[in-house]
Structure 1
Amino acid sequence: MRRKCRQQRLCAISTPPTLIMSKGRLKVLLFVCLTSFVILVVHFLLTTKINAREYKVNDRTVVQYRKESVLESTNGQTLLRRIGSLGIASGKLKSNRKLILLITNMRSGSTFLGKLFDANEKVLHVFEPFWPEVDDLGRRWSATDDRKIGLLQSFSTCHFDSPSALTFLAELSSGRRQWTRYYSTALSSATFCHDTHLQVKQPEMNTNCSFSPTAMQQTCLSKQAVVLKVIRLANISRVESVHEHAIIRHQGMSHTPAEFHILHLVRDPRGTIHSRMKIGRLRREYQSYHPNEQNVGNEAMVEFSANRLCKQISYTLSVGESRLPWILGKYFRVRFEDIALHPVVQMTELFHHYDMEMKPEVLHWIQSNTHGAALHSQPQPRQSLQTNRNSTLVVDSWRILLKSAKGRKYVDIIEKQCSDVMRHLRYDLAM
């Protein structure tokens, strides 16, 4: 007993009291750190897992998490209802099909890009589905919101039994919309049009076409992507309601709705305005807003058109690049100049972005249409919308304005109205 006490005293003497206290504190510190780490992980999973599933487009996209969540939302019940209706929590929205809304402004190269998509047999390309629901300036959207939302919902779910979809199909058959079929290989195929020889020689005269909801559904479901080429959409924020409504109908369906994406095509404002000038669009645009001013000069028309154009581009950029839940991870921007100068590289990148392959048919179309060597046996229904041009010349066509004093004045006006947008899109100023 005496020896045991003696050993304890020696141990007490050999171990400093400060060291004994530091070991105790270390245990407490480790326990606190471990507990905090577990709490943070649980909080992270609870608040961001749903958003990660919602906003991840593909493996190449960085997963982005939002701070606003089930725990932090000011209206948690509303958010939970949206999550439940979208089917995100249960993973019901995972779909191999894409609904790509190609939005841009008039004379920005959307017909060219649309035909590039159309060359892929796995794509259903629809030329101007909103035409003529609104005029060229996109000013009648509010009067036709329901019809547009219904039509976009139809393309998302591949159900074409709504009133707006039935009207659309009827106009494709024999109405004033039938000329738009020329720009869609799928809508001009033998599935819908029986006199296919007319589609090559006289596409606008081929009236022997019928578009039933069943045939349209089969075509829609057979494609990897539906690309809707739209220039008549002045306010991109309206699409939020399309995003929310287009997938409500998925409950009870045998297939999931398509993933919704927005592809924003931009062009150098100088090229866009110059193209509008060549086809006489500036005067029509100006007089639609100023009907009593008939003797307006060219400089005033250029200034008005450039101002409206760049305000629209700026607004679309601000929404597309925002962190709004409905568009986060679904917005992609591409420049017309990059596609026109490097179509193979850019289209390969675009198809890869949407989890699709670059088909040999697309390469063939590029070789046939981007060097001014397209076959003349293929007529264009509207010459202002032709796509068989030399891409390099189209990109630089606006520079002809720099050869005259009046033209340089136009360029200076455009650059003053669009300087911020041009810098944001990496366009160098000439003046």
Structure 2
Amino acid sequence: MERRYALPQDFRDVLHCLKMRSKYAVLLVFVVGLVIIEKENNFISRVSDKLKQSPQALAEANGTDASLAPAENGSLESLRELDAAFSRLRTRLRNVTLELSGGQEPVGTPSPGPRRHVLLMATTRTGSSFVGEFFNQQGNIFYLFEPLWHIERTVTFEPGGANAVGSALVYRDVLKQLFLCDLYILENFISPVPEGHLTPFMFRRGSSRSLCEEPVCTPYVKKVFEKYHCKNRRCGPLNVTLAAEACRRKEHMALKTVRIRQLEFLQPLVEDPRLDMRIIQLVRDPRAVLASRMVAFSGKYETWKKWASEGAAPLNEDEVQRLRGNCESIRLSAELGLRRPAWLRGRYMLVRYEDIARSPLQKAKEMYRFAGIRLTPQVEEWIGKNTQAPQDSSGIYSTQKNSSEQFEKWRFSIPFKLAQVVQNVCAPAMRLFGYKLAGSPEALTNRSLSLLEETRASWVT
């Protein structure tokens, strides 16, 4: 349903009086524009108010006709329609401001200012926790580690079809609010529900320095158990209000997530006039990802292990299709970014974990330069200390690595027949990202044979 916004009569009277003072009229038009944008944003934000609604209810919450919801096996048509509606609203707003300002671009047209918002977009076991520390260690950046975990745990969506659209809408809405330092949005998804904006259940709080430093770190409460407590100091339960205030005080913000699947649904965030957003998509050789997941999530990969060692029964087709789907979603997002659509130009960077592991400081500088943020000595010092760790000191979730030596360890832990399965289903993605296929067990384990092509300069768009 098309939403119409009428300018208040007081605004129209003032604009009429200021026709001869164009510079003031233009400024006022910009203020009016912000009011209209805020109304629309409040309207879209209501999608997250109902925590356990069906995709149909989500469509209704966004003011869309339920008949527009895609079929169970549909694609992202409803999501595209919502994005298109957002774009149409923005176009109408621009036309109104141009008309009122005599055809001139308003001097106050949204200027994002110096604050940058960085999204590190990855999948599990791609080294995203390690790379996220590049931003977590910088004092003027407010960093959040996997805040969307709470949404995934609270709102259950099956993969594919309408449910994929529903989850994308919720993730996007929450992500936008977090970038605006509205951390209260998470209270809708944290279980048990925070009382008085206090919670000891913030996922991986200890992985965010900003949530463990003054003044967010309140006095320790001895009788309150906090599973994901701060690592280097004792703090009381997280005060969401203090965290939100700390977020607003920081110069920039960065957020790491493995729960964003489609790059295209981020377009409204990239185009939001309040954000100056940069997206870094992190990828890794899918053979290495599988090898790492088989260690980190051992119970979920028992069938893969049995098939590799015994070969008595074929792999479960659902497992193979899940692997194919993961590779395809990563590839499609990367292809969109590399096509350089106008809305994403200058705001997307593709980076391989292997290149970061080989040259961590160089890649950190490239990512900071891309984000438009000055890299500080404290980050350089952290990288120096945490990329030369002894090989036997790193647990499966550790961010301490002897990165130049460990990034190829997977070649000696994954059976060749499993590597072949990955190569068969993920070949398009591997070709795009420059991962060479291994033709034999000997080629897989021969360190003198590189399985990496050189990176492409065009990966920074």
TM-score (normalised: structure 2): 0.61
Alpha-carbon distance in 2 for matches of 1:302, 1:165: 34
- 1:134 maps to amino acid: E
**Deviation at 1:153?**
2.6
CA RMSD of aligned residues (A): 4.1
Q: Which residue of structure 2 aligns with residue 134 of structure 1?
A: 152
Residue 438 of structure 2 is aligned to residue 415 of structure 1: no
Q: Structure 2 vs 1, CA of residues 346 and 188 (structure 1 numbering), >3 Å: closer, same or farther?
A: same
- Secondary structure (helix, strand or coil) at the match of 2:147 reads coil
Residue 267 of structure 2 is aligned to residue 240 of structure 1: yes
Residue 400 of structure 2 is aligned to residue 388 of structure 1: yes
Spell out, residue by residue over 1:88-120, the C-alpha distance to the aligned partner (whole angstroms, 9 max, x if none): 854323321111111111111111111121011
> Which structure has the larger Rg?
1
Q: Structure 2 vs 1, CA of residues 428 and 418 (structure 1 numbering), >3 Å: closer, same or farther?
A: same
Q: Structure 2 vs 1, CA of residues 358 and 128 (structure 1 numbering), >3 Å: closer, same or farther?
A: same
Of the three residues 361, 371, 375, the one matched with 1:358 is 375
Residue 212 of structure 2 is aligned to residue 188 of structure 1: yes
Equivalenced residues, count:
328
Of the three residues 188, 206, 219, the one matched with 2:246 is 219
**Deviation at 1:349?**
1.2
Q: Which residue of structure 2 aligns with residue 120 of structure 1?
A: 138
- Contact kept? 2:331, 2:432, Cα under 8 Å: no
Q: Structure 2 vs 1, CA of residues 296 and 125 (structure 1 numbering), >3 Å: closer, same or farther?
A: farther
**Deviation at 1:129?**
1.3
Spell out, residue by residue over 1:25-83, the C-alpha distance to the aligned partner (whole angstroms, 9 max, x if none): xxxxxxxxxxxxxxxxxxxxxxxxxxxxxxxxxxxxxxxxxxxxxxxx9x997563264
Q: Structure 2 vs 1, CA of residues 364 and 401 (structure 1 numbering), >3 Å: closer, same or farther?
A: same
Q: Which residue of structure 2 aligns with residue 208 of structure 1?
A: 236
- Contact kept? 2:177, 2:183, Cα under 8 Å: yes
Of the three residues 255, 263, 266, the one matched with 1:228 is 255
Alpha-carbon distance in 2 for matches of 1:388, 1:234: 27
Alpha-carbon distance in 1 for matches of 2:259, 2:341: 23
Unaligned runs of 5+ in 2: 1-83, 99-104, 305-311, 440-461
Q: Which residue of structure 1 aligns with residue 74 of structure 2?
A: none
Relative contact order, CA 8 A, sep 6+: which one is greater? 1
Q: Structure 2 vs 1, CA of residues 323 and 338 (structure 1 numbering), >3 Å: closer, same or farther?
A: closer
Spell out, residue by residue over 1:231-273, the C-alpha distance to the aligned partner (whole angstroms, 9 max, x if none): 01222222234445x54xxxxxxxxx23022110011111111
Spell out, residue by residue over 1:268-315, the C-alpha distance to the aligned partner (whole angstroms, 9 max, x if none): 11111111112236836999xxxxxxx975586774453122111111
Q: Structure 2 vs 1, CA of residues 165 and 132 (structure 1 numbering), >3 Å: closer, same or farther?
A: closer
After TM superposition, list the pairs within 5 Å mapping 1:22-421 onto structure 2.
80-81=91-92, 83=94, 90-134=108-152, 139=159, 142-143=165-166, 147-160=170-183, 163-164=185-186, 170=194, 173-176=198-201, 178-195=202-219, 203=230, 208-213=236-241, 215-243=242-270, 246-247=272-273, 257-280=274-297, 283=300, 303-373=320-390, 383-401=395-413, 407-421=415-429
- Contact kept? 2:117, 2:179, Cα under 8 Å: yes
Q: Which residue of structure 1 aligns with residue 49 of structure 2?
A: none
Q: Structure 2 vs 1, CA of residues 137 and 189 (structure 1 numbering), >3 Å: closer, same or farther?
A: farther
Alpha-carbon distance in 2 for matches of 1:186, 1:355: 20
Alpha-carbon distance in 2 for matches of 1:307, 1:179: 29
- Contact kept? 1:306, 1:417, Cα under 8 Å: yes
Of the three residues 423, 426, 434, the one matched with 1:426 is 434
- Contact kept? 1:285, 1:305, Cα under 8 Å: no
**Deviation at 1:337?**
0.7
- Contact kept? 1:99, 1:259, Cα under 8 Å: yes
Alpha-carbon distance in 2 for matches of 1:196, 1:175: 11
Alpha-carbon distance in 2 for matches of 1:301, 1:417: 13
Q: Structure 2 vs 1, CA of residues 358 and 197 (structure 1 numbering), >3 Å: closer, same or farther?
A: farther
**Deviation at 1:384?**
3.3
- Contact kept? 1:138, 1:232, Cα under 8 Å: no
Alpha-carbon distance in 1 for matches of 2:218, 2:141: 21
Alpha-carbon distance in 2 for matches of 1:423, 1:174: 45
- Indicate the larger mover: 182-191 or 356-365: 356-365
- 1:96 maps to amino acid: P
Q: Structure 2 vs 1, CA of residues 306 and 126 (structure 1 numbering), >3 Å: closer, same or farther?
A: same
- Contact kept? 1:102, 1:265, Cα under 8 Å: yes
**Deviation at 1:132?**
2.7
Q: Structure 2 vs 1, CA of residues 143 and 421 (structure 1 numbering), >3 Å: closer, same or farther?
A: closer
Alpha-carbon distance in 2 for matches of 1:281, 1:216: 35
- Contact kept? 1:101, 1:229, Cα under 8 Å: yes
- Secondary structure (helix, strand or coil) at the match of 2:149 reads coil
Spell out, residue by residue over 1:362-420, the C-alpha distance to the aligned partner (whole angstroms, 9 max, x if none): 122112221225998xxx9xx53211122133310221047xxxx11111111122222
Q: Which residue of structure 1 aligns with residue 7 of structure 2?
A: none
Q: Which residue of structure 1 aligns with residue 442 of structure 2?
A: none
Spell out, residue by residue over 1:177-208, the C-alpha distance to the aligned partner (whole angstroms, 9 max, x if none): x2411111011112212247999x96389561
After TM superposition, list the pairs within 5 Å mapping 1:9-28 onto structure 2.
none
Alpha-carbon distance in 1 for matches of 2:206, 2:95: 41
Q: Structure 2 vs 1, CA of residues 165 and 174 (structure 1 numbering), >3 Å: closer, same or farther?
A: closer
Spell out, residue by residue over 1:151-190, the C-alpha distance to the aligned partner (whole angstroms, 9 max, x if none): 32323333455x45665694994253x2411111011112
Alpha-carbon distance in 2 for matches of 1:117, 1:344: 12
Q: Which residue of structure 1 aligns with residue 101 of structure 2?
A: none
Q: Structure 2 vs 1, CA of residues 130 and 263 (structure 1 numbering), >3 Å: closer, same or farther?
A: same
Q: Structure 2 vs 1, CA of residues 137 and 388 (structure 1 numbering), >3 Å: closer, same or farther?
A: farther
Q: Structure 2 vs 1, CA of residues 286 and 158 (structure 1 numbering), >3 Å: closer, same or farther?
A: farther
Spell out, residue by residue over 1:334-363, the C-alpha distance to the aligned partner (whole angstroms, 9 max, x if none): 111111111111101111121222212112
Alpha-carbon distance in 1 for matches of 2:164, 2:129: 21
